[in-house]
């Protein structure tokens, strides 16, 4: 059985002080007895502070980062290395988010380098893939997403696959209020799992967790999580409100 995984991507929101206040408030209300794995992914400047609160309050929440470079060190102004993340107690890292692709020109090849580096550094990647509205309406969305998947997994060893989380995020549903129907989302997640089975084998495909992301809210989380190939959610806006985030975890 794949353990459900709800991760909050806080994007460029909350200072370290605001993040600490958020978790302190959450600590009064949060009791994870659902069997879900939960992670928060704050901005880089809040990672240390968030880790401190999680440890002090003994919250059953993992720490994730929103990005990292594929080199260990060097002249890469503004970048963060995997060693810098692991030194802060980071366990997960989001790689290949559509906003990174769109605004910072990240390609499948760059994301593949990052995924390989994450595995070799002891980090667990949350690898994002997804299509635009134009591609969805063209009817070529599966072909596009599976091509992303294959390119981003190039050279990844089968032994690492069970530590991988894939986040299927249709770009047209991120922050728009639009959500793929649960059937459409599951259909794509099932296609992703089948492609992993083709590459690595059925056992490995069965161990990979596939999240859905894109305007996930408390009112639609139960239906999405009821689908057989959706194992969790990568949540944006709703993870910035304590009550909404708890409601998602307790779906």
Pull the structure tokens for residue 240: 């910035």
Residues 6+ apart with CB under 8 A from 153: 112, 115, 196, 199
State yes or no: is 97 an active-site residue. yes
The string of DSSP letters for 34-59 reads S--EEEEE--GGGHHHHHHHHHHTT-
Kindly name the residue from 99, 131, 169, 204 that is annotated as catalytic: 169
Pull the structure tokens for residue 108: 């499948």
Contact of 126 with 95, CB cutoff 8 Å: yes
Contact of 37 with 62, CB cutoff 8 Å: yes
Contact of 41 with 23, CB cutoff 8 Å: no
Residues 6+ apart with CB under 8 A from 241: none
The string of DSSP letters for 101-141 reads HHHH---HHHHHHHHHHHHHTT-EEEEEE---HHHHHHT-H
Kindly name the residue from 16, 37, 69, 97 that is annotated as catalytic: 97
Pull the structure tokens for residue 132: 């635009």
Handedness of CA 151, 156, 162, 163 (dihedral sign): negative
Q: Which residues are catalytic?
A: 97, 169
């Amino acid at each position: 059985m794949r353990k459900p995984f709800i991760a909050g991507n806080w994007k460029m929101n909350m200072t370290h002080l605001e993040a600490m206040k958020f978790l302190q408030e959450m600590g009064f209300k949060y009791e994870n007895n659902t069997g879900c794995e939960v992670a928060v992914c704050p901005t880089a400047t809040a990672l240390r502070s968030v880790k401190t609160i999680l440890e002090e309050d003994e919250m059953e929440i993992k720490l994730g980062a929103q990005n990292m470079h594929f080199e260990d060190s060097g002249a890469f102004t503004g970048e963060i290395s995997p060693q810098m993340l692991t030194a802060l107690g980071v366990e997960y890292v989001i790689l290949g988010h559509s906003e990174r692709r769109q605004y910072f020109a990240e390609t499948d090849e760059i994301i593949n380098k990052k995924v390989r580096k994450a595995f070799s550094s002891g980090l667990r990647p949350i690898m994002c893939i997804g299509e635009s509205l134009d591609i969805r309406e063209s009817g070529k969305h599966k072909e596009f997403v599976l091509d992303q998947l294959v390119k981003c997994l190039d050279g990844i060893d089968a032994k690492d696959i069970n530590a991988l989380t894939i986040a299927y995020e249709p770009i047209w549903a991120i922050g728009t209020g639009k959500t793929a129907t649960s059937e459409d989302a599951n259909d794509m997640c099932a296609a992703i799992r089948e492609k992993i089975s083709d590459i690595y084998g059925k056992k490995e495909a069965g161990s990979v967790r596939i999240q859905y992301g894109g305007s996930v809210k408390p009112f639609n989380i139960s239906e999405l999580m009821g689908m057989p190939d959706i194992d969790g959610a990568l949540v944006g806006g709703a993870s910035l409100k304590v009550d909404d985030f708890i409601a998602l975890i307790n779906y």
